[in-house]
Structure 1
Amino acid sequence: MKRAKFNFHNVRLSNKLLIMYILSVFIPIVLTNIIFYSVTINNVKKQQIHDSELALRQIRNDFGKIIDDAVGISSSLYTNAKINLFLEKDYLTDVDYVENYDMYLRTFNQSSPINPSINSIRFYTDNSTVIYSGGVYPLTNDIKKSNWYKHDMERSAASPIVLHSPIDNQTSTFSLMRRLDYFNFNNKQKVVKIELNPSTIESIFHNVTFKGNVYLLNAEDEIAYTTQEDLAWRKKFIHFSSVSKTNRTVILKSPALNQAFLRNWKVVGTISEKTMLNTVYKSGQFIIYLAIINILIPSIIIILINRSFLNRLHRILRHVKKLGDQNFERIPDPEYTDEIGQLSSEFNRMTKKIKELIHDVFLANIQKQDLEIKRNRAQLSALQSQINPHFLFNALETIRMRSLMKDEQETAKIIHNMAKIFRNSLTWGKDFVTVRDEINLIMSFLEIQKYRFGDKLSYEIHVDEAAENCLIPNMAILPFIENASIHGIEPLKEDGEIKVTITLEKDLLCFCIEDNGTGMTQVKKEELLASLEMDEEIGENVGIKNVYYRLRLYYRNQFQFTFQSEKQKGTVVMIQLPYNLVLS
């Protein structure tokens, strides 16, 4: 099937206005707000990322500064000959040690400037003659077995080592470890441990300007410190890649720390986009309200304007459609001066003119229709009058022939059936009868034919109970029974059979008349069908033509008539009537 070509003129006016509104108002406003919102989000995101990078850089610099301070202190101790001699010397008595402690170490502690980033300074030595107190601790086997100590002893340079130092389960800090082996008189193993102030570390990493989690990563990308509270990084090293992150998490990295002993250490921050854009999301409601206002006001204006003419156009359209039902109502609108008002005025003038024309030709049409009705009735009467003599002649001939062969009792029975048929032929003024009455008439006819043919003829009649009270045209079926008997069964020598079936299927009353008679050739069948469509004299095939013409007069094109026939095989006639349309 060829697809119809689209034409914009076929689109309803209301749909055209809707398309115009969507393309000219709704979509531009929505797109404008979406673009504005997207640009704002991108700008805010860039600004937040920039500020967060600055905050990370500040954390990196502050952490590097306190490490540099601790390294500076360790360097002064590393090159301090007196303290190295104090830790190197063998003491004969405890008094001798206390005097040297007061002279060198206590004096150093008192003279050193106070640095709030340093929590404590401890000295570790394997000198067994010192008293381990006041910041001096033994270099035990546990310390010597530790990884940092082994790593420190393996190195040739005496550069410091930065270690993560847990204080308890909730607090941790960093310590700077350095081997004191600067001088040639170095005979004892000496290590200084400078522990950073945990509150200083916490204040550096918990930067209020950074709104996410901060991670300090060592050279192996293991977390050395973090602000993420639900991460057990104090108990074991956790690789940064194993930290749970979503697709909407922004990862920011600062440049690596400058110190040689902190090579490849870096500060990394993670922020969710939701946190970064929280301010924009809060202002999103304002953008939505603004978009609603921008859409609502033009929409109200457009609706008011559309109503001024769409409603009136629909009213005109309804009245135009009523013209098809010969309803010539005037449009009650006032006479407005716009184009639609002028259209309403012209429509009212046209309906007035049509009414006048109808009034002028009404009587002539009635007379014409009356003549047509009379003509149809006359044709119907003529058709009916052709049926009775033809049928009665055959019936009386049958009685005459059988009377010669039978006694009076059988003749009386057949005459009784004949009387029924003759009585029905006298009631042609009754156009419609019930299916039950028609069946009674058919049975009378078939009994006459059975009387005539004897065992040569058998018949069956099947009728739906629901169809018995339906009305059909008088003698609409009997001519087909007569045709089956006379033209189909009579030429046979034996085993003739006629079957009548009447059913009710949905809204159709269906008749089926079957016989196993001589049938007819295809040529004869086509000639009969062609003759049914010719409005000429009836001529041959009186019974079939009479029924067909009567059905056409009663039902017009609301009935179906078909038949099938084969030579020496019989004939099947099918009739379907709209039972709900018959007269009641």
Structure 2
Amino acid sequence: MKYRNVINNLKIRNKLAIIYVFCVLIPVIVTNWVVISAIKSNVRNQEAIRMQNVMDRIKYNIQSEVEGCISIASNLCTDKVINQFLIRDYTSNLEYFSDYKTTLQNNVLRYYYNSQKINQIILYTDNATIINGGSFWRIDTILGTEWYKEFVHSGKDIYLATYYDEKKKYLGIQSAPRTISLIQKLDYFDTGVMEKFVKIDLQYTAIKNEILNEKIDGDIYICNKEYVLFSNQIAENERKAFLPQSELDINQATYQDNFRVASDEWTIYIMPMKIGIGKMIKESEQMVWYLIMINLLLPTIIITLISKSFSGRIKLMELYFEKVKQEEFQLIEGSVGEDEIGDLIKSYNVMVLKIKELIEVVFKKNAEKQASELSRKGAELKALQSQVNPHFMFNTLESIRMRSLLKEENETADVIEALSQILRKSLSWNNDYICIEEEIVFVQQYANIQKYRFGDKISFSFYVMEGCEKIKIPKLSILTFVENACIHGIEGISKSGIISVAITKDEENVFIEISDSGCGMSEEKLRLLREVLKDPNINKLSECKSTGMLNALIRMNLYCENTLVFDIDSELGQGTDIMIQMPLGKIEIEGEKR
């Protein structure tokens, strides 16, 4: 019992200090020293093995592709039909194409593309009677290319060329300008009179994708003596020229390995990797668990003693708080200690004395105020809806439309149908909020009606930014401003005009802009209009002569909980610009919870 009183009288700060020293500081120091020392050595060894496996896979994949190309080139070199086709002296184009067709039918050249990562295979010859095209070209067409000069200068029968092909720079994704080509002389049947060789272009992107599939926490670079040929950098633009090998700081490489590709010497470099402690612990999980069990024993004893100081009094408080939930407010009596929990119990007793007053006076009055506010807003909405719910004769409009169709007055019938749809939507208040894409459809229908009226005098422009289509706004709100632009803007000018509607958004707000090139308004009229629309509310409807824009602004302002920002700018003879801003956090988006 004595130890309980001692612990109860300790400040929570002192209790936490005890917990920290015995349950955190000492175990962490011991555990970190033991675990990290053992894991570092283990991880370094495993990482070295893993990196060697990565380099071995890369070497195997590249060498396999190049050796496959060498095998293809060797088959073509010993193909008697191909050799005869390349050296034959053709007397006419017809004779060439006939022999060309026969050669391809009796040769598997076209099947090599499917079995290997090959972009194209081209056979070159200095036979002047060959017609350039397909897989056969004359050597005189590539005499000026750098890769051909390097091949001739090397003097080798098999040569691996790496170069940047400017001709492929503007072609499709499959034709990367970075090119790796295997070149082999076709001299198996040759008497030395005619030069022939085959050039096989590997699919650079396919080989790069294999390297990207190596998921390591580091950078991989594959280089020859001059260039960085491949890397696992996703952001690297393979349509640019090869990076010079001299620009790569190879001293930063943790691992490297040299290997031979055809006639060339390549090197793999792997830059430093980040080894996370989580990964280290996972790889030595069994040892970590043993240490955790040891570290739990001492903290458990101390925490058990201290927790008894908390648990009894906390449970007592829980009991009394449950009574508070049942609206039973009773004081906690007896010895509660001198620490912070004791102070908390004393504060609870003070709270019990005040809580009835809070519930009966403040809370109830606030609830009545909120109910009154909700009722007022509901009444305002109903009043607004009643003003934009005129009753139209749909049957009469349908009769007129059918009459127009019978008389083959299709344009008039379309206008009547558009008007009927707009009126039906204005009468339907089952859901006052619709998506912007639906609202734009109504605006476009209204635009067709105005085009019927004004002809070429009026034109419309609509832009809805991607991602804005499903944002909900009060129904027919944009239509109201477009209608105002037609009547008070375009109708007042003799020249042609345009009305533009643009809807955009950023991370926080959606913006609705309506502009017209109409007659505009004077500075005095603009000032008065701004004053009326500055604080849109239901009381101003009875004071304002033109309620169209005010009505729409009130509905939009109520919809976004009085956070709407409105601005209008106009110049006499130049037109009018309207901007409406609503926070995305205050409005609904179809398919998302508000």
Q: Which structure is larger by alpha-carbon Rg, 1 or 2?
A: 1
TM-score range, shorter chain: 0.3 to 0.5
Give the alignment's TM-score, normalised by structure 2: 0.40
Give the alignment's TM-score, normalised by structure 1: 0.41
